[in-house]
């Protein structure tokens, strides 16, 4: 599993590249980057839920990855975005699209970091074989977020886009 900061910064950097080169700054406001960053971490909300259940039950409860790490939720958010887009509610459609992207990137990162997808990512269909590569990047987890941040900042400075944040 990737670290929390990695989930957030990768999603922000990914969305920011699309913001600059595909959609444009006016059609993709900065608040969507914030929502995307939070959405990149959202599937891990089951961790504090497990803590609360442990306190309430007195038994160790681990619900991490049982439901929230499913591509089902990313597809659901994308579908909601498409429905809102069809209804011409573009502001909320963009929000739901960004949430779907953040959720998907979270799942992909966890996959690359060695989580077993056969148990997690296709809930409620958990009988399928694992599709994750066995890269086991967890040993590099403490460096990954720093590398992503430095590369993103270098990109922003070299392409003269860092001024968009000041």
pLDDT 10s digits, 59-103: 988 887 777 888 889 999 999 999 999 999 999 999 999 999 999
| DSSP line for 58-110 | SS----TTTSTT-HHHHHHHHHHHHHHHHTT-HHHHHHHHHHHHHHHHHHHHH
Among residues 19, 44, 14, 33, which one has the least CA distance to residue 106? 44
Per-residue pLDDT tens for 116-132? 555 555 555 555 555 67
In angstroms, the CA 90 to CA 30 distance is 15
Domain boundaries, the chain: 4-165
Q: pTM of the full predicted structure?
A: 0.85
- Give pLDDT, residue 110: 83
């Amino acid at each position: 599993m990737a670290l929390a900061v990695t989930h957030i910064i990768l999603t922000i950097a990914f969305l920011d590249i699309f913001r600059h080169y595909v959609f444009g700054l006016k059609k993709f406001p900065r608040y969507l980057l914030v929502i995307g960053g939070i959405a990149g971490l959202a599937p891990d909300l089951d961790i504090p839920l497990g803590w609360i259940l442990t306190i309430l039950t007195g038994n160790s409860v681990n619900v991490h990855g049982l439901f929230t790490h499913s591509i089902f939720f990313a597809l659901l958010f994308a579908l909601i975005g498409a429905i809102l887009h069809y209804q011409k509610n573009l502001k909320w459609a963009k929000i739901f699209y960004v949430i779907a992207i953040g959720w998907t990137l979270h799942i992909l990162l966890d996959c690359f970091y060695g989580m077993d997808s056969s148990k997690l990512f296709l809930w409620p269909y958990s009988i399928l074989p694992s599709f994750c590569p066995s890269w086991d990047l967890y040993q590099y987890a403490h460096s990954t977020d720093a590398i992503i941040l430095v590369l993103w900042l270098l990109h922003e400075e070299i392409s003269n886009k860092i001024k968009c944040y000041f």
